[in-house]
Amino acid sequence: MSTVNSDKLSSARFAQATDAFVEVFTASVDFDKRMAEQDIQGSIAHATMLHAVGILTEQERDAIINGLNHIQQDINNGQFVWSIKQEDVHMNIEARLTDLIGNAGKKLHTGRSRNDQVATDIRLYLRSEIGHISTQLIRLQSAILNLAEQNADTIMPGFTHLQVAQPITFGHHLMAWFEMLSRDYERLQDCCKRINIMPLGSAALAGTTYPIDRFMTAKLLGFSRPSANSLDSVSDRDFAIEFTAAASLIMMHLSRFSEELILWSSAQFDFIDIPDAFCTGSSIMPQKKNPDVPELVRGKSGRVTGHLMSLLMLMKSQPLAYNKDNQEDKEPLFDTVDTVINCLRAYADMMTYITPKKANMYASAKRGFATATDLADYLVRKGLAFRDAHEAVGLAVRLGVDTNRDLSEITLSELQQFSDLISADVFDYLTLEGSVAARKHIGGTAPDTVKAAIALARKHLIPPC
């Protein structure tokens, strides 16, 4: 026999009280109270509209608004008493309102349901959090631009397959990160367009018989328009899935940056220094300085992708319209928001203090025959077919490997063994500086091109509103 909670009958329809465990099991207030501010804003707009269409008197509207503002203050001061008996944030606030103002409080729920209320709250919440995420994203982009500017002509090896491929500039590498984040920013703004549509007034599922003005409520809450279909708007969480997908891509990018920072700060690469403030030591190995922030961010990318999967699975088998399943959307969503904001913030703070070890980067580019393609291109310009040039340079690289010399250190007469098209001007192309400077088309790694890309990026870096 299950334990019944005799304090509460969940509605007049029930003859039996909710099972005590079921009461706890089905409650969401512990986590959805995070949307209290949005819930109160939604209710203020709803009450304002109910008065405008003649459903509430002016006194009732004012009592509701004052009561809700009072509740908001209590929440801000930590004085509001949340109760699991009231199940969720919506019922907690409504019940307290009725305690405070009496009968008028009971009229607030006219022409709405918790189903459209919760969908509205999540949309308001996400809209506001996208603003906060965008702020951190732009902080990180600014820090990247500054570092790229200081390193527009810092030479390092560029990699494919994690093998040295061609010389690049550190500024160019950083601007690749910048580009990824620019697309992330655009994705957030784009999904915000679909988030910013108002479900309120859809009521439980079919709309309401009261003469509500949904355009008015939408305007009061800053939504672009009321939603077009009541069934769809109380049930679908595609906007939350889309947001989580955008967040997963941000985390995937941060995880890639992390992987590089971790490699670069290792003794084997030794390309950068990550300041002590973003690292920790080992409790047992006194020499250790571990890149904790990038490692944690790389690790946290997994949980956000996990949340994306959770939300997709949560949605995929639900028939129209609202189902209680949807209460499960909040924890993944909230954790996604927290994780993305915290990771971007840690990254933006850290990025300003990353210092490249330029001499090591340079030496490493030199060690990997990074200008082999430049030698092949040189031979092609002199009239050799590319495949033959590839072959000739392969032989030159083999000589370099055997004698432990970079291509630029092999003598002219030795190089001429591989092709008689080679003359003294070849050394202009075999230096790392010559190699990067030659890639000066748009999108290339030449220092001047990188500086132009940075200047353009600065012009377009829109501060979030």
161 is catalytic: yes
To ligand ARG, the closest distance from the beta carbon of 115 in angstroms equals 5
- Give how far Cα 414 sits from Cα of 74, 366, 404, Å: 83, 19, 14
Binding site for ligand ARG (CB under 6 A): 28, 32, 88, 114-115, 118, 322, 324, 326-327
**Residue 321: cis peptide before it, omega within 30 degrees of 0:** yes
Q: Describe the crossing of helices 89-101 and 58-76 by its angle, rounded to 10 degrees.
A: 120
Pick 126 or 164: Cβ nearer ligand ARG: 126
Does 235 participate in catalysis according to the annotation? Answer: no
- Please identify, using beta-carbon distances, which residue of 176 and 204 lies nearer to ligand ARG: 204
Q: What φ, ψ does residue 5 adopt, rounded to 5°? A: -100, 105
Nearer to ligand ARG, 168 or 195 (CB): 195
Least Å from the CB of residue 237 to ligand ARG: 10
Helices 114-150 & 447-460 angle (0-180, nearest 10): 150
Q: Show the tokens assigned to 271.
A: 């390309």
* Closest to ligand ARG by CB, 200 or 422: 200
Q: Minimum distance between the CB of residue 8 and ligand ARG, rounded to whole angstroms?
A: 15
Least distance (Å) between residue 238 CB and ligand ARG? 16
Q: How many C-alpha atoms does 181 have within 13 Å on its Cβ side? A: 30
Which residue lies nearer to ligand ARG by CB, 86 or 305?
A: 86
In angstroms, what is the minimal distance from the CB of 111 to ligand ARG? 16
Sign of CA dihedral 52, 56, 59, 65: negative
28 or 38: CB nearest ligand ARG: 28
Least Å from the CB of residue 326 to ligand ARG: 5
CA distance 216 to 62: 18
To the nearest whole angstrom, how small is the minimum distance from the Cβ of residue 225 to ligand ARG?
Answer: 23
- Please identify, using beta-carbon distances, which residue of 287 and 317 lies nearer to ligand ARG: 317
Instruction: Render the burial of 171-194: b for 16+ CB within 10 Å, e for the rest.
Output: bbbbbebbebbeebbebbeebbee
**What's the CA angle centered on 322, arms 15 and 200, to 5 degrees?**
105
In angstroms, the CA 17 to CA 430 distance is: 84
Q: Phi then psi for 108, rounded to 5 degrees?
A: -60, -35
Q: Which of 161, 413, 441, 460 is catalytic?
A: 161
Cβ 118 to ligand ARG shortest distance, Å: 4
Q: Are 272 and 355 a contacting pair, CB within 8 Å?
A: yes
Q: Please say which residue, 5 or 352, places its beta carbon nearer to ligand ARG.
A: 5
Could you give the residue numbers annotated as active site? 161, 282
